Chains A and B, each alone.
Chain A
Amino acid sequence: MTQDLFYSICGIALFGIGLYGLLIPPHILQKILAVNVMGTGVFMVLIATAQSRAPAIDPVPHAMVLTGIVVAVAGTALALSLVCRIYALSDDTEQDAGR
């Protein structure tokens, strides 16, 4: 098995793990983390693709990953800020809602 194939498989597996984490656990922070795990899996597939064109390394997937990271940061931040705003609106009885 070549190196890039190994990392592609790991990336797809991470994607699957993240998908499970997004769909099943009830905690919202777990879901947000799971989305990031999925994203990391996709980035890993892209990096493996860049590696697969050895001996030269394809810079285009690297650029895609850098763009993707920024987009992931943005999405995560928006999600967390929404969670904070919902949390701020919660009644006392719901204080431990997201726990």
Chain B
Amino acid sequence: MSGLSLPALLPWLVGLPLLAAAASFAGQRWVAGRWLNAVGAAAQLALAVLVLWLLAAGDSGLGQRYTLGGWGAPLGIDLYIDGFAGLMIAITAALGFVLSLYSCSYFTEPDQAARFWPLWWLLMVALNAVFLAADAFNIYVTLEILGLAAVALVALQGGRPALQAALRYLLVGLLGSLCYLLGVALLYRAYGTLDLAQLGQLVHAAPLSWAALGLITVGLLLKTALLPLHFWLPPAHANAPAPVSAALSALVVKASFYLLARFWLETLSAATTAQGLQVLGVLGAAAVLVGSIQAIRAQRLKLIVAYSTVAQLGYLFLLFPLFGRPSDTAGLGGAVVDAVAYFIIAHACAKAAMFLAAGNIQRAAGHDDISRLHGIARRQPLSLFAFAIAGASLIGLPPSGGFVAKWLLLNAAIDAGQWWWLITVIAGGLLAAVYVFRVLNLAFTDSAEQPPAAEAQPVLPRLLPLGAFALAIITVLLGFNALWVLEVLDIGVPPLQLAADGEAL
């Protein structure tokens, strides 16, 4: 161990953005303050990189625990980090940094900026806290910060569509949280602890475990917007300000997916069944198809991108059937988790780039109506270029993060002997190509009846297209540096739970 101890840094992943939220709220009148937010985001990124580096350098290869308050579970609350959690924190901090820079240029109106920054930091608090959480009730509180901050950010722009989308998002979020909380209450009733690792040892297949699993699953699926429960996502993501849309699609929905993976494959795995895992996979496959088709039919650029999120989230759910029921309590790791985690990261970068590009186009053109975006490529070349690269990644064209992610996913499906998922992955890629090329096709062709010079176009600050472009470049770079990411993921895979009696029949 080096002098720096990794666990001691973990609470700061929550504490730093918390202080930043308070500071940006109190120092709102200070105009230069908004660039300080970018400095704060850089600090968060540095912290996350340091954490990831220490995690990767640790020779034990084990996940790390931190006992808050010095009590330790079950009396106190612990934080826990393994490779999966570490990568989620790193991608949160990386995207958080780029999106913060972008937001400095995006929110120029003081009133909006004053409200945006504290909420933005609270969103970061919640994301980091979710990924580090090791306590079932603590997850409820973090999910509420996440949900309420996200709703407030969607409502930031005002206007009836945004407010209504926010209200619906809020009601869905509250319903999801309450389902989750009832599940946790039942678990606590049955097992007398809230710590995830201890629950993982104690849980056995019993009616109360199934009830809790069902409630927790429904609650988290609502928040993740898996197919039949996805109705709230497109309006909320399409009506939010661009950096908020990017964060919602890239990070916020992934947080509840991350928790689903933890609960199904670790904590409550003893209560799951193979059929249940297959059902999640089938819903995911349906989401890929339905979401893509809705994206093809959508008439607004941001709505296309939002429906594309519904589709891309579907791929993630292939994790469940491909991972299968863990034969021993092995922790979250292996080829399937690698593939899905890689998919999360690649999609996060590509989708954030896409939403920023769409936001730039909307701001420049004053609307994002597809039928009136002819020739926008000439006026917004960099944003369109970013959109195209991100689109290529979503389709799964090499060389991009999306290509590697799909390749890993295909391999995992073949290894698991479940070749039928290949059809979904390939069909989803083809459908993605349709909606991406539909946009590009329009953007590069001039419309006859609409002379491009007729409307006065606002000049965008340079940082806006650059932000989208930077994320697109990261998406490509991910295609070349897959190996290192995958190595980090294997940290924490050795048994978290040593007890064998968790696997009761």
- Say if the two chains contact directly (CB < 8 Å): yes
Q: Enumerate chain A residues within 8 angstroms of B174, measured Cβ to Cβ.
A: 35, 75, 79
CA distance A68 to B181 in the complex (A): 9
User: What range describes how many residues of A lie at the interface?
Assistant: 20 to 34
Q: Are B188 and A61 in contact (CB under 8 A)?
A: yes
Whether A45 contacts B164 in the complex (CB less than 8 A), given A74-B144, A75-B144, A82-B155, comes out as no
State the CA gap A12–B208 with chains docked (Å). 13
A83 in contact (CB, < 8 A): yes
Scoring B residues 168 to 196 as 1 if CB is less than 8 Å from chain A, else 0, what string do you get?
Answer: 00110011011001100110110000100
Q: Which of B95-150 contact A (CB under 8 A)?
A: 137, 140-141, 144, 147-148
Contact B170 A45 (CB under 8 A): no
Q: Is the CB of A78 within 8 A of B141?
A: no
Whether the Cβ atoms of B189 and A35 lie closer than 8 Å is no
Q: Do A35 and B178 have beta carbons less than 8 Å apart?
A: yes
A62 at the B interface (CB under 8 A): no
Tell me the complex Cα distance, A49–B144, Å. 23
Q: Would you give the shortest CB distance from A23 to chain B, in whole angstroms?
A: 9
Quick check: B164 and A86 within 8 Å, CB to CB? yes
Q: How far is the CA of A82 from the CA of B171 in the complex (A)?
A: 11
Main SS class of interface, A: helix
- Asked if residues B160 and A75 are in contact (CB atoms below 8 Å), the reply is no
Per the 8 Å Cβ criterion, residues 182-233 of B in contact with A are 182, 185-186, 188-189, 194
On A, residues with C-beta under 8 Å from B are 8, 12, 15, 19, 22, 28, 31-32, 35, 38-39, 41-42, 45-46, 49, 52, 60-61, 64, 67-68, 71, 74-75, 78-79, 82-83, 85-86, 89
A to B CB contacts below 8 Å, 21 in the list: A15-B182, A28-B167, A31-B171, A35-B175, A41-B182, A42-B178, A45-B182, A45-B185, A45-B189, A46-B188, A60-B188, A67-B137, A67-B141, A71-B140, A71-B144, A75-B148, A78-B151, A82-B166, A85-B163, A86-B163, A86-B167
**What residues of chain B have their CB less than 8 Å away from a CB belonging to chain A?**
137, 140-141, 144, 147-148, 151-152, 155, 158-160, 163-164, 166-167, 170-171, 174-175, 177-178, 181-182, 185-186, 188-189, 194
